[in-house]
Amino acid sequence: MIALLVMTAALGQDLLGEAQRLQSEGRYLAALAVLEQVPDPARAGLQRTLCLWTAGDLGGALRAAQVGIEGGGDPDTRRQLLWRATSLATELGEAELALDLVTRWEEAVSGATDLDGQARDQWREGWGPGTGTKAARRQAEELVGRLDAASRGESRARWVSALMTTLVLGGMIALARR
C-alpha cells in the first residue's frame, strides 16, 4: 500500500514537471492535457491555475483555482490556491467572491498547524508590496467600496435622466398646448 502511494506521488511529480516544461514553452493546451492525469486535484489545480493565468485566461484560472481549493490537498497548496484565487477575483472585479476567498485564506493561515510564527506572519504581511492576506483584504474591501459607489452613481444618473426626460416631455406638452 505504501509503495502504491509513493508511486502515485512520484507519477504526480513527473506529470507536474512535464506540465511546467510545456507551459514554459508556451504549449498551454498540451500542459493542460498533462495536468488532467495528475492524481492530486489540488496540486493539479494550482498548476492549471498558473498555466491559464500565464496564457491570459484569467476567468479560467479563477475557475481552476476554485476547483483546486475544493479538491483538498496539503495545507500549503490550499493556501497558494486561495492566494491565487483571491488575486484573480479581485483583478476580475468579483468583489464578493474576493472577500469570501480572502476570508478563507486568512482562516487557512491562522489555523495552520504546519506554519511557525514567522511563516504565518509572512503569509499575512506578504513577500512584497500588496501580496499578503492583509493587503488582499484591503484590496477586496476597496473593490467592494468602488463597486458600491459606482452602483450608487448609476442609480443617481438614472434618477437624473428620468427627471430630465420628465421635464423635457412636460415642456414639450406645455409648448404644444399654446
Is 49 part of any domain? no
pLDDT in tens, 135-151: 888 888 888 887 666 66
pLDDT in tens, 5-54: 444 455 567 899 999 999 999 999 999 999 999 999 999 999 999 999 99
Is 109 part of any domain? yes
Confidence category of residue 169, pLDDT binned at 50, 70, 90? confident
Find the length of the chain.
Answer: 178
Q: Positive or negative, the Cα torsion across 56, 60, 62, 67?
A: negative
Is 154 part of any domain? yes
Is 132 part of any domain? yes
Is 162 part of any domain? yes
More confident residue, 171 or 114: 114
What is the average pLDDT value for the chain, to the nearest integer?
Answer: 84
Query: Is the model's pLDDT at 166 over the cut of 60?
Result: yes
Confidence category of residue 4, pLDDT binned at 50, 70, 90? very low
Cβ within 8 Å of residue 88, ≥6 positions away:
49, 53, 58, 61, 62, 65
Q: In total, how many domains does the chain have?
A: 1
C-beta of residue 67 within 8 angstroms of C-beta of residue 45:
yes
Is 161 part of any domain? yes
Domain that holds residue 160: 75-177
Is 27 part of any domain? no
Is 152 part of any domain? yes
